[in-house]
Structure formats: C-alpha cells, structure tokens
Amino acid sequence: MAARAQAMTRPAAAKRRPAARRRPAARRGASRIHWDRVGRIALTLVLFFVLYSYLNPLIDFVKTYTATTAAKVKLHEAQAENTRLHWRIQHSDDPAFLDAKARAQGMVAPGEKPIVVRGL
C-alpha cells in the first residue's frame, strides 16, 4: 500500500514518458552490395527459370502435333485402300470384271484363238 501511496503523490508528467527514439547510426561508408543489381539479377534468373519450365511442354506439344499430322495421313491412306478393297469385293461377281481380270492374267475366252506376239 505504501508503493501505491507514493505512486499517487508523483506528478502525472513523471509517470509516463514517451519512449526515446533512437536515430540510426551514421553510415561509415558506401555499401559494397548494389541491391538494385541483385534484384535485377534475381528477377532475370526467375524469368529464365519460368521460361525453361515452359520449354519441355512446348517440345511435347510440337511432337504431338507432328505425330497427329502423320497419323492423319496414314488414316486417309487406309481409308482410301479400304474403299478400293470394298469396290473390288462388290464387283468381284461382275462378269465383265472377271473377264478383264482373266485377260490381264493371259487367259483366253472359249472359242477364241490365242495369238502370241513376241518381240515387242
């Protein structure tokens, strides 16, 4: 209680003092580190890292595009061959088609005289 009585007897200005503000110490010389250069170099390195991270997906995209183009060419060739084979199947019973195929193999129709021409 005695401490409380003493605290009440002090003036109000003595109770609370603002904290002393310290000034930063004066520099002894110029800093050897150029922070603006360090920041630019760090930013450049980050930029190159980001560009490098996009490089592999870009290469994969180009490979996929070229593979897709090659696959489309093969698909169109297979479709053309399929169409040709379907046409041959549909026309295999046609007598005119069978006659043309037989003549291409060197066969002769009944009643015809075979003639062989050599030296052409």
Report the pLDDT value the prediction gives residue 14, as an integer from 0 to 100. Answer: 56
Structure tokens at 41: 């170099």
| pLDDT greater than 70 at residue 1 | no
Contact by Cβ (8 Å): 41, 47: no
Q: Are the C-beta atoms of 99 and 109 separated by less than 8 Å?
A: yes
**What's the pLDDT score for residue 10?**
58
Angle at 42 between CA 39 and CA 45, to 5 degrees: 150
Give the tens place of pLDDT for each residue, 58-106. 999 999 999 999 999 999 999 999 999 999 888 888 888 888 888 889 8
> In the chain, where are the structural domains located?
38-106
pLDDT tens track for 24-64: 666 666 778 888 899 999 999 999 999 999 999 999 999 99
